[in-house]
């Protein structure tokens, strides 16, 4: 009797699997033909941090180091010096994206609105050194087309 019960169980399981397969066969496909088609990202998507600049194209960063202290993975390196006008300015800003967890803590810690989270999600590269973003790269990405930077004051 247990043999018949096992065969009936196998047939029932097979029919359940076939039902799922047929239901999915006739449903609408959700596959995108990447890279020709791209996902529309939600408004609150957090990519990697970028540096923001003022109207003159200069960085807003004063190298205060709050973002460095707020980063839980220590991926930010900032160095600064006195500028011509006597105010402190950032001279070096490096972000190691190979270890960044995109937590947004650096943006929240920045008092000068010099940082924002970008909406870039294509971060693949062939060499680890390509994931070290310097100050010029981060400023360019902050000014770039299609970057919907999310800052602390934005309502989602």
In terms of Cβ atoms closer than 10 Å to its own Cβ (0-12, 13-18, 19+), residue 106 is buried
Specify the pLDDT at position 1.
Answer: 72
Specify the pLDDT at position 156.
Answer: 47
> pLDDT of 65-105, one tens digit each?
999 999 999 999 999 999 888 889 999 999 999 999 999 99
């Amino acid at each position: 009797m247990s043999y018949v019960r096992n065969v009936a169980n196998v047939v029932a399981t097979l029919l359940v699997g076939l039902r799922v397969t047929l239901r999915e066969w006739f449903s609408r496909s959700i596959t995108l033909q990447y890279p020709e088609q791209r996902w529309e990202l939600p408004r609150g998507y957090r990519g990697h941090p970028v540096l923001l600049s003022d109207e003159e194209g200069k960085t807003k960063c004063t190298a205060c180091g709050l973002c460095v202290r707020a980063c839980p993975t220590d991926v930010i390196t900032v160095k600064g010096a006195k500028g011509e006008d006597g105010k402190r300015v950032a001279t070096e800003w490096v972000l190691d994206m190979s270890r960044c967890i995109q937590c947004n803590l650096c943006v929240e810690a920045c008092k000068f609105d010099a940082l924002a989270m970008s909406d870039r999600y294509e971060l693949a590269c062939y060499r680890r050194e390509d994931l070290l973003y310097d100050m010029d790269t981060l400023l360019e990405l902050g000014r770039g087309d299609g970057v919907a930077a999310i800052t602390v004051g934005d309502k989602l």
